[in-house]
Amino acid sequence: MPKNKKYPIAAYWNLGTAIGLCAAVGIFLGALLNNLVLWLGIGAGIGVILGAVTQKLRQ
């Protein structure tokens, strides 16, 4: 049986995960601050920017 390999977080981090995680944080903040749609959009926007920057730096 092969041993489990330990992969760095960079192996899983891409544009989709950045958008998803930031949107999830946005949903959480929106639920706390009673403005779900606004914070979902803000979180997804931050995720797009963060994901694009990390993809550009990876190249």
- C-alpha distances (whole Å) from 44 to each of 3, 8, 48, 55, 59 are 36, 24, 6, 16, 23
pLDDT of residue 2: 61
pLDDT at residue 1 tops 60 = no
Query: For residue 36, is it within any domain?
Result: yes
pTM, entire model: 0.79
How distant is the alpha carbon of residue 17 from its chain centre? 4
Alpha-carbon gap, residue 46 to 59, rounded angstroms: 20
pLDDT in tens, 6-54: 877 777 888 899 999 999 999 999 999 999 999 999 999 999 999 999 9
**For 35, phi and psi rounded to 5 degrees?**
-145, 75
Domain count, the chain: 1
- Which domain covers residue 26, as residue numbers? 16-50
Query: For residue 45, is it within any domain?
Result: yes
pLDDT of residue 49: 95
